[in-house]
Amino acid sequence: MTAEGSLPRKTIGIFGGGQLARLMIPVAARYGALCHVFDADPHAPAFDLTPHQHRASFDDTAAIDRFAHACDVITCEFENIPITALQRAAQITPVIPDPNHFAMAQDRLHEKTMAQKAGLSVPLFASVTHKDEVKGFFNQHGPAILKRRCGGYDGKGQKRILTSADLQDESLSFLLEGPCLIEALVPFTHEISTIAARGVSETALLPIGDNHHHQGILRKTSVPSSLPDVVLDLARQQTFAVMNHLNYQGILTIEWFVTAQGSLLFNECAPRVHNSGHWSLEGSSLSQFDMAIRVLLGMPLPDPVFVSPRVEMLNLLGDAIQQRDVYERCPRAALYDYGKPIFRSGRKMGHVTFF
């Protein structure tokens, strides 16, 4: 037996330095990996946790090359990273998930078409560029939501059309300056998300919770989901169907609507960890961050199981972070402050998980 030897350390590159990267880094460190973070914002929350900072814009090709050469594998914490940056990095270092899967998730039309090809049901939708098409859809199908195809998140870039008066709203013309999708309003009873990871040979899926949104923003996730097993099993099967269809590697989140009849409709997907999976840091044997990092490091991927019978994650939006002392006193609450220097209405400033 040798008394001494060198142990190789893996370096993970993360495009985007938001709260998802900030939550990912300590998990990577637990497995002995180093993280480099690439973001243009000098106040990006993840920079607090690593000295390996690449502060540059996503069109700075020299900075992207330096970043890629410094890393063994690269991932993203935000799906709207420019594809050109991902493709350039991928010429030097593996990017997981594949940049093509980011391209699909960046455009709601491609995303929904992909879901249909994988055999999933989606809300009734149409691609639109003109107000007349929006009006025609509303007259034929009733209440609807107009969404920018690209760039929207947390309910941004959307307008609900509930009455014909809404067709006159000036935000419609603003949205229609870019390509849009119009969707029939789904009378769902539940929103859920599935978070799954696939490595070279193993696939793991996080237990499923119920998501509660308000004004397009996730407020709360409660686990386990209150839905019957038959619906949850279908969501699991359909998630694997998407992964098989895409020959997917890495972590994938899919958001679903569930109707009173138990029908499952694909809403959208993200090739990354997700706000609705934060509860898993305390509530699951493997968190969503473990799942994502394990794929990047080529580690085994056992199926995560609950470690707490009931868990609830509450987002701290805007000035709600100022009440963090309420949660600090609670012994079964895990408080996360993302360290953002400025709060504004609806901005995700932190979260708290009750377990």
Residues that bind ligand AMP (CB under 6 A): 123, 145, 155, 183, 185-186, 191, 213, 216, 255, 267-268
Tokens describing residue 240: 């694997």
Tokens describing residue 172: 């419609």
* Residue number, 35 or 145, with CB nearest to ligand AMP: 145
Least spacing, CB of residue 150 vs ligand AMP, in Å: 12
Please give the helix or strand (H or E) that residue 290 lies within, else none.
helix 288-297
CA dist 56 and 203 (Å) reads 34
* Residue number, 99 or 123, with CB nearest to ligand AMP: 123
Please give the helix or strand (H or E) that residue 259 lies within, else none.
strand 250-259
Cβ pair 203, 240 in contact under 8 A: yes
* Residue number, 91 or 189, with CB nearest to ligand AMP: 189
Least spacing, CB of residue 65 vs ligand AMP, in Å: 33
* Residue number, 103 or 186, with CB nearest to ligand AMP: 186
Least spacing, CB of residue 2 vs ligand AMP, in Å: 54
Least spacing, CB of residue 84 vs ligand AMP, in Å: 24
Q: How many CB atoms lie within 10 A of CB 152?
A: 18
Q: What is the 3-state secondary structure (H, E, C) of 51-117?
A: CCEEECCCCCHHHHHHHHHHCCEEEECCCCCCHHHHHHHHCCCCECCCHHHHHHHCCHHHHHHHHHH
Q: What is the CA radius of gyration of the chain?
A: 21
* Residue number, 221 or 267, with CB nearest to ligand AMP: 267
Least spacing, CB of residue 214 vs ligand AMP, in Å: 8
CA dist 273 and 145 (Å) reads 26
Least spacing, CB of residue 79 vs ligand AMP, in Å: 12
Length in residues, the chain: 355
Q: How many CB atoms lie within 10 A of CB 338?
A: 19
Least spacing, CB of residue 127 vs ligand AMP, in Å: 15
* Residue number, 78 or 355, with CB nearest to ligand AMP: 78
Burial label for 309, CB within 10 Å (0-12, 13-18, 19+), is: exposed
Please give the helix or strand (H or E) that residue 265 lies within, else none.
strand 264-270
* Residue number, 122 or 349, with CB nearest to ligand AMP: 122
